[in-house]
Structure 1
């Protein structure tokens, strides 16, 4: 809802609306990007909270400030209050970045992990749809009040779930770790085996002497950490620079530029949102049934073709204005773009953050990856108005399409397959390919 809110807020702040607050284009770009600006910093804070206090606790600690941020927006009387409220909700969103995927990855059974991690993307899509739906029919202040209910609900729900078993084991709370693991995973043979391996590894790590800062930094320079970090970093930046959040933040204005005046842009926005939600549900199913790599490649190819179609159409409109009458072409391409990017490019990087980093550096890897994601997020949201103004829709969509194409080629060569594999097997695979040494497994 934080990401989607600006799309319905900014049109209501235009001077012609004669509301209590009006903004010029420069102020509008700052209001939109102000939520994205602190998200990267929030990731660092979230990584610290996730490591020091636990994955669940990091979620709980963000609920109250998120509520305060939405209330500031709801009762704003000037642009400064809007910026403060957007900043607070943005930094809280960033703080959740490292904890969410890691918590789901550490508490879920391998065969269901992809499905559950894809729930992150589904929840984002649902939040976008709800904020756009409410904002289409309600005043922006009322919409902000509705959004403020979410952190309250979240706090209530989080009280009933345990802390991450892996984190508890890492902190030496073995009995609590065992109880939490059984609560999450039951007592099947595969679950017992994974619990035993997790505790064995934690026992070995606890016997190591306390590392100083230099040793910890050298640990982060090891290939078994840098390799997954590099893969996620490239993939997640390609994800952002494929333009999905630019379209999310400026949906209404982009609809006007791309489709023209012949289509109700608010209705088109809601149609796109519904498709995004449906595709996010489909992504959950596909991640349960298919591997990561095939889904990534299909998603990337479809996203690339849709963006180049949008680029070609908007260019032809400038040369042959009558082409603009065929508004179904850009709308179809936009729907295809949202569909393809929502089944792979959007959910996969966030899902794999919770899978591919080694346990001892999982919080750090997640924080760095989320930091890069939200930094790219901010850069896209802040620059997209200028790009659409200076390069036009054709040039902007062309750039986004090129990035999507390059990202697809990259993941086709380097993205590992993690479907159905326990986290310790994924960790061992990176260690073997990086160092070619034999490490502790369930066989020794």
Structure 2
């Protein structure tokens, strides 16, 4: 890039484009953090009566509505573009906060959650894809890591406000905090990858060079060349109506026959297990239950969770730094392995404390264990998972891949949040953490055998690695079967 040092004009333009996604993701974090104040205040005031079932539905409904948002993601980002998807997501989020600020009944709370869940379902799937397409390879890992960082800043904001305000006042404050994401989204450019897939190559070059300068022209031309080859292979079908209908009907089936399609889905589905069951979501959704199990009281809950949020943010920024220095695979294996250990240590502490098996007990022990857990969850389960997942999707089917993986993410979220209170009552918080550790171990084994190294690789290089050959090389395009195209 031209200019002096890291802070060149193209890099700053990439940061500006990414900020629109980051601000919206921050709003998603505010949604998760808001649960602590909402449930804590309503349990005490009974202003809107909630029992265990209604509370679990209110917390887990976001998983179902996120699923609805995910199903619409592929259609929106592959037909009308990434930028319109970002605008729709921002609008739904603002509508959700308006709903909370006006809510006076349980159905009104549910309606607000529906808006926010659809926003999150659309935005989380699209956000990582959009950042990956905006950014150059040497900055991509760091910029994608702004997603979990922004999410955690949003969670911290909600939890910190819980120290001073009630849930209704917090909803009004967060409404105004969500507006900048909508405003900046209006001024962000469309993704150059989307423009390439639509054959708008001149616009693609213009936006790509606006974002990156001329240094990455080789990546730009390879991306356009690969798209032109695929379109040329499809051209014979476009003039034949029966072939076109058959092509559309068999699109989903034939997509799954492509290595570069089904392998990333298989990988990301398992990475989503690590993301969901690393412990962060449950700490944000049911902090009172977990803090009572660990400390025996919830009197210091908001102070402790605010410190946990700060540590998760530190862990995320540390991950951003480490991903620029260390290869993804060994870093991920180490941090998620420590996450498994932290879950087992917390479970062992709760069990030993319940049955008076501890030879020595002090509040510093549980503070250390909980912060160790949240550090490993924030660095591995949240940050690194987001970075690696968004680097694996193929260009031609990125929207469909994102939709499928986002659907699994939403299902996991719903099952995780909905089942947590029942698991707490059946096997305790300690038993629940042991079950999470088993799920993480299985998914980490899948990661070890399936995921290639992605550090400093272009998205096209990663796709070629998963496919097994380069589509841009003319002598290898004969390997493409008609059914694949």
Which residue number in structure 2 is paired with residue 224 of structure 1?
260
Which residue number in structure 1 is paired with residue 450 of structure 2?
414
| 1:376 to 2:405 alignment | no
> SS at the partner of 2:63?
coil
Which residue number in structure 2 is paired with residue 269 of structure 1?
305
Match of residue 427, structure 1, among 439, 455, 463: 463
Superimposed CA distance per residue, residues 136-155 of structure 1 (whole angstroms, 9 cap, x where no aligned partner):
21111111112222432112
Superimposed CA distance per residue, residues 158-214 of structure 1 (whole angstroms, 9 cap, x where no aligned partner):
2222100010111111121111101111112xx111111111112222222345223
Deviates more, 1:105-114 or 1:346-355: 346-355
Q: Structure 1 residues 83 and 248, CA, compared in 2 at 3 Å: closer, same or farther?
A: same
- TM-score, L = length of structure 1: 0.94
CA contact (8 A) 1:118 1:287 kept: no
Match of residue 221, structure 2, among 188, 196, 204: 196
Superimposed CA distance per residue, residues 204-244 of structure 1 (whole angstroms, 9 cap, x where no aligned partner):
22222345223412123322211111111112123312332
Distance, in Å, in 2 between the alignment partners of 1:41 and 1:262 is 35
Which residue number in structure 2 is paired with residue 37 of structure 1?
64
Which residue number in structure 2 is paired with residue 347 of structure 1?
383
Q: Structure 1 residues 356 and 442, CA, compared in 2 at 3 Å: closer, same or farther?
A: farther
CA contact (8 A) 2:89 2:118 kept: no
1:76 CA displacement: 0.6
Which residue number in structure 2 is paired with residue 104 of structure 1?
131
| 1:293 to 2:329 alignment | yes
- TM-score, L = length of structure 2: 0.86
Superimposed CA distance per residue, residues 343-382 of structure 1 (whole angstroms, 9 cap, x where no aligned partner):
1221233223321121101111111111111210111011
CA contact (8 A) 1:299 1:340 kept: yes
CA contact (8 A) 1:242 1:403 kept: no
Distance, in Å, in 2 between the alignment partners of 1:337 and 1:81 is 35
Which residue number in structure 2 is paired with residue 214 of structure 1?
249
Distance, in Å, in 1 between the alignment partners of 2:377 and 2:147 is 14
CA contact (8 A) 1:47 1:95 kept: no
CA contact (8 A) 1:9 1:135 kept: no
CA contact (8 A) 1:292 1:419 kept: yes
Which residue number in structure 2 is paired with residue 5 of structure 1?
34
Which residue number in structure 2 is paired with residue 365 of structure 1?
401
| 1:403 to 2:439 alignment | yes
Match of residue 280, structure 1, among 276, 297, 316: 316
Q: CA RMSD in A?
A: 1.9
1:323 CA displacement: 6.4
Equivalent pairs counted in the alignment come to 436
Q: Structure 1 residues 151 and 115, CA, compared in 2 at 3 Å: closer, same or farther?
A: same
Distance, in Å, in 1 between the alignment partners of 2:283 and 2:276 is 11
CA contact (8 A) 1:2 1:35 kept: no
> SS at the partner of 1:255?
helix
Which residue number in structure 2 is paired with residue 439 of structure 1?
471
CA contact (8 A) 1:39 1:95 kept: yes
| 1:28 to 2:55 alignment | yes
Q: Point out 4+ residue stretches in structure 1 off by more than 3 angstroms.
A: 321-325, 441-444
